[in-house]
Every structure is written in structure tokens, then in C-alpha cells.
Amino acid sequence: MKLKHALTILFLMLSISIMQAQKIKIKKGIISVDGTACLSTDGDPINISFYDTNGEEIIFMKYLDTKRGENYMKITFLDQKLSLTSKSIIFTRKMLVRRLLSNKVIENCKLNPDKVERFILKFDENIEKEDININVSIDRN
């Protein structure tokens, strides 16, 4: 009987989380969230810009290599002049938008500057700082 109740609760929680998931679609540079055009994007596979509904560039995402040849990415929030680097999560356009939405960095199709710093704290791996420290220790030896 307890198993039946546990499965029912699990099913309800899963149903609620599925209902809250937002549908993100990217077509011809337009990023739609639940059918509403929210952002736009352009660039090549290595340098990607995200624009708000007014056409202002708000986020820049770039794929880079460390001095040791490892791949990582850098995401810069342009107006806030803040960035994060990550090699454990290689964001795609859609994945980045999904994470920005779920962390309320984007709300009602607008960037919430108060949430940017928290997002960076969660996902920044300080790859560039790490790479500089490794090069300094290599130079000393």
C-alpha cells in the first residue's frame, strides 16, 4: 500500500514539473518560449550573440581552448560586464536559454540583472583563472 502511495506522489510531482517546463524553439535566429518570440540569436558556431526584443545584444557566448588544449566556453552578460567559464557544461543555445529561464535570469522575455550574479556563482568554473595559475607554475619550474 505504501508503495502505491509513493508511486502516486512521484507521478504527481513528475506531472507538475512537466507542466511547468517551458517549450523553447529556435528557428531562423528567433528564440520562442512557449510560442512567444523572446530573444534572437546570431553568430557562427564558435561566437554566438543573444539579443533582447529591442535588438540590444545582452549575452555573448564563445567556445575557447585552454593552454592545455581543453575546450571550454565563456558566457558574458554584456550590460553587467560579468562572465562565467565552464568546461563541465558545454552550453548549446537552447540549453543556455533553458538554464536562464529555470534560474529566472530571463523572466517575461527580459534579462533580470539581479539574477545574473547568482547564475554566475552557480555555473562559473574559473577556467581562465585556473589556466593562468597553471601557466605561472609551469614558468616557475
d(CA 70, CA 28): 31
Q: Which residues pair with 43 in a beta bridge?
A: 48
Label residue 43 by pLDDT band (50, 70, 90).
Answer: very high
Label residue 10 by pLDDT band (50, 70, 90).
Answer: low
d(CA 84, CA 86): 7
Q: What is the pTM of this model?
A: 0.76
Query: Any idea which of 6-20, 35-49, 58-72 has the lowest mean pLDDT?
Result: 6-20
Label residue 4 by pLDDT band (50, 70, 90).
Answer: low
d(CA 84, CA 35): 29
Note the pLDDT of residue 97.
96
Whether 139 shows a pLDDT value over 70: the answer reads: no
Ordered alpha helix ranges (H), the chain: 2-20, 93-102, 113-123, 127-140
Residue 43, C-beta contacts closer than 8 angstroms, at least 6 positions apart: 49
